[in-house]
């Protein structure tokens, strides 16, 4: 394993992670919109064509019907939430690594990196759950032609007025089920790829931009391979009418398996995979660039 940059600074991770998250949203949001619309489209009745036949059909219909702005529908919520969310995510990863070190120059094993990544998933849920709820509702609203919410803030206000804080945080357990193991895989894979892509005798600090992009993009794909099934359940649960699933995700899972089969747990797979590589490549590149800047301006932070 190539030696990891030392010492680990959770605070630098916090600021660099926020910048990386903004990069991720700008690159990946259009395909996130497609993913959510595919995951939440109504069940097809006998003899009736589905609303979207697949990823590219959904993309075409969204672009023709709503223009480029339609692909960025609901982006205000993740943009507002993503800077603190990814800041907290990378902070949690940095803290998880720091807590497992006995001395500052310890190099962590891959299971330890996985554990640190899982901690980051716990940290982000407080911010992630309401942002995901609002984003999903706004993304499907445009597809159904409804105008219940005028924007992210209006959506949050209505959710709180209708069901209190529980309405805003609906789907938190499923967000945890998605993000804890997926974040472990995400960060462990990134560190592993950086290690094997670092030339012999060189430091991971000096990894080239193309190699950072490749490692970050592939880490995003590994992340979503783990995350897609709970993400499908989360999207369905968060956008369902109040009271439809009284037993939570168990009811969503039973309904999906009964009516659409196991393959339904991977709805939106193509959109997710197309999005995962460029979005996460941009995220980690943004993180590494910001981290180098912080190391330059504040080497002792």
pLDDT tens profile 76-90: 767 776 778 889 999
Tokens 């939106």 sit at which residue? 268
User: Check: CATH 1.50.40.10 for 10-42+50-197+205-297?
Assistant: yes
Does residue 268 register a pLDDT over 90? no
Domain ranges of the chain: 10-42+50-197+205-297
Distance CA 118, CA 38 (A): 28
Does residue 1 register a pLDDT over 80? no
pLDDT tens profile 91-134: 999 999 999 988 877 889 999 999 999 999 998 888 888 888 98
**pLDDT band at 2; cut points 50, 70, 90:** very low
Q: Which helix (H) or strand (E) holds 106?
A: none
pLDDT tens profile 115-127: 999 999 998 888 8
State the sign of the Cα–Cα–Cα–Cα dihedral 61, 37, 19, 103: negative
Q: Count H helices, E strands: the chain? A: 10, 0
Residue 272 CB partners (closer than 8 Å, separation 6+): 31, 35, 224, 228, 231
Q: Please state whether 144 falls in left (phi above 0), alpha (psi between -120 and 50) or beta.
A: alpha
pLDDT tens profile 53-65: 888 888 898 888 8
**pLDDT band at 7; cut points 50, 70, 90:** low
pLDDT value for 284: 96
Phi and psi at residue 43, to the nearest 5° = -65, 135
């Amino acid at each position: 394993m190539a030696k990891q940059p030392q010492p680990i600074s959770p605070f630098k991770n916090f600021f660099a992670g926020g910048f990386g998250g903004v990069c991720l949203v700008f690159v990946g949001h259009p395909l996130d919109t497609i993913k959510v619309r595919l995951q939440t489209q109504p069940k097809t009745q006998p003899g009736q064509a589905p609303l979207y036949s697949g990823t590219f059909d959904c993309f075409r219909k969204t672009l023709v019907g709503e223009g480029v702005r339609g692909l960025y529908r609901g982006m205000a919520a993740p943009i507002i939430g993503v800077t603190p969310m990814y800041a907290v995510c990378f902070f949690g990863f940095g803290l998880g690594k720091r807590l497992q070190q006995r001395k500052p120059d310890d190099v962590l094993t891959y299971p330890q990196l996985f554990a640190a990544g899982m901690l980051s998933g716990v940290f982000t849920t407080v911010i992630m759950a309401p942002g995901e709820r609002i984003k999903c509702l706004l993304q499907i609203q445009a597809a159904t032609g409804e105008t219940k919410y005028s924007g992210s803030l209006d959506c949050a206000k209505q959710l709180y007025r209708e069901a209190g804080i529980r309405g805003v945080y609906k789907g938190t357990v499923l967000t945890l089920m998605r993000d804890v193991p997926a974040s472990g895989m995400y960060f462990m894979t990134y560190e592993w790829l950086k290690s094997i892509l670092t030339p012999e005798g060189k430091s991971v600090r000096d990894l080239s931009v193309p190699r950072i992009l490749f490692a970050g993009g592939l880490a995003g794909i590994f992340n979503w391979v783990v995350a897609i099934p709970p993400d499908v359940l989360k999207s369905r649960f968060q956008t369902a009418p109040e009271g439809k699933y009284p037993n939570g995700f168990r009811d969503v899972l039973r309904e999906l398996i009964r009516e659409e089969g196991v393959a339904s747990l991977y709805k939106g797979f193509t959109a997710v995979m197309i999005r995962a590589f460029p979005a996460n490549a941009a995220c980690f590149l943004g993180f590494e660039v910001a981290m180098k800047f912080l190391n330059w301006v504040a080497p002792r932070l």
